[in-house]
Homo-oligomer: A and B are copies of this chain.
């Protein structure tokens, strides 16, 4: 019973046994969703929070002209839209890439959690802020890194995020995204995505085959895109005492 949500939240806070039990209970009712299904569509009135337990999903927007922009990749342990019930309607959709195991959480349960379990409340708060930090880093990537570096940076980010939930080893992980999806992440065409992946392989940095990514030299890849993991905020803040 290795719960990715608990693994992730434990990075932010010291979780007590009681907190862990509460979280386990929260994740009890799971359901399977097929690949390429919408969990939310743009315009939906969100009432239920989704949590990914297994599989990969993406947050995306359809742009005029029928092109898609992916704005986040959701891995096991990630919430789809933690506090979204505050807003009137979804300004984006969420779709699965692979078949997924999903937990549906009513907005009310999230309120309870935050009201009665301060540690969990703190951890959820941290999750929301990290999501935002990742979004900022992606924006910076789009603005100021060319597509090779953008892709290298993304592969580094995935490595670390998957490692924290125990789904990547030292230098490789399963990568179910297609070149089409990469294109929608990086804001390029799939043809160009193809060329970039080839060039990364030719430079002996990364190989992507049969839905599995292997990084030959992690440090070299990080150096290429000057990857600095601090935006993922995986180090616990020392001075909580002051609160």
In the complex, are the beta carbons of B143 and A143 less than 8 A apart? no
A83 vs B128: C-alpha distance when bound (angstroms): 10
Residues on B with C-beta less than 8 A from A65 are: 144
Closest to A133 in B: B91
Contacts known (A91-B231, A142-B143); A125 close to B83, Cβ less than 8 A? yes
Q: How large, as a class, is the contact surface on chain A?
A: 35 or more
Residues on B with C-beta less than 8 A from A126 are: 86-87
A135 CB within 8 Å of chain B: yes
A235 CB within 8 Å of chain B: yes
In the complex, are the beta carbons of B230 and A69 less than 8 A apart? no
A147 vs B71: C-alpha distance when bound (angstroms): 19
A140 CB within 8 Å of chain B: yes
Query: What distance in Å separates the Cβ of A212 from its nearest Cβ neighbour in chain B?
Result: 26
Contacts known (A135-B135, A230-B89); A61 close to B125, Cβ less than 8 A? no
In the complex, are the beta carbons of B231 and A140 less than 8 A apart? no
In the complex, are the beta carbons of A135 and B139 less than 8 A apart? yes
A35 CB within 8 Å of chain B: no
Residues on B with C-beta less than 8 A from A235 are: 88
A36 CB within 8 Å of chain B: no
A71 vs B184: C-alpha distance when bound (angstroms): 20
A5 vs B136: C-alpha distance when bound (angstroms): 24
A137 vs B59: C-alpha distance when bound (angstroms): 12
Minimum-distance CB pairs A-B, first 5: A143-B187, A142-B142, A69-B140, A91-B231, A64-B226
With A88-B235, A144-B187 given, name 5 new contacts (CB 8 A): A88-B237, A91-B136, A135-B135, A138-B139, A142-B143
